[in-house]
């Protein structure tokens, strides 16, 4: 899994019928401190993430294991919205403090 920050949406009116109805989001990959890794992913949103949400992403075959992406031509999926990141007893991120 990887951490990312949702930075936008992608709209496509012409697409494979298997992905009709899926929300496609633009995600900036980040480290555990929220710093940009200067890398981006296009991911199907399976959890209803909003812009600026910190999310967990899965890639490859794992991206096709959710209820909304099963048997679809998906390579990246948002599978969770992060509430808190703790490391070594320190809170690095809390969604409530955004």
- pLDDT for residue 97: 87
Place 47 in a pLDDT band, splitting at 50, 70 and 90.
very high
- Residue 88 vs residue 69, higher pLDDT: 88
**The model scores a pTM over 0.75:** yes
Going by pLDDT thresholds of 50, 70 and 90, the confidence category of residue 35 is very high
Q: Burial of 47 by CB count in 10 Å (0-12 exposed, 13-18 middle, 19+ buried)?
A: middle
Please give the CATH superfamily to which domain 2-97 belongs: EutN/Ccml (2.40.50.220)
Is the pLDDT at 94 greater than 90, yes or no?
A: yes
CA distance 20 to 67: 14
Residue 16 sits at the vertex; the CA angle it makes with 15 and 20, to the nearest 5 degrees, is 75
Give 61-81 pLDDT, tens digit per residue: 888 888 888 888 899 999 999
């Amino acid at each position: 899994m990887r951490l990312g920050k949702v930075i936008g949406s992608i709209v496509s009116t012409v697409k494979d019928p298997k992905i009709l109805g899926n929300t496609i989001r633009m995600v900036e990959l980040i480290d555990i401190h929220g710093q940009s890794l200067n890398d981006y992913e296009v991911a199907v949103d399976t959890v209803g993430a909003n812009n600026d949400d910190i999310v967990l992403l899965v890639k490859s075959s794992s991206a096709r294991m959710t209820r909304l992406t099963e048997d679809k031509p998906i390579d990246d999926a948002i599978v969770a919205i992060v509430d808190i990141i703790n490391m070594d007893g320190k809170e690095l991120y809390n969604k409530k403090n955004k």
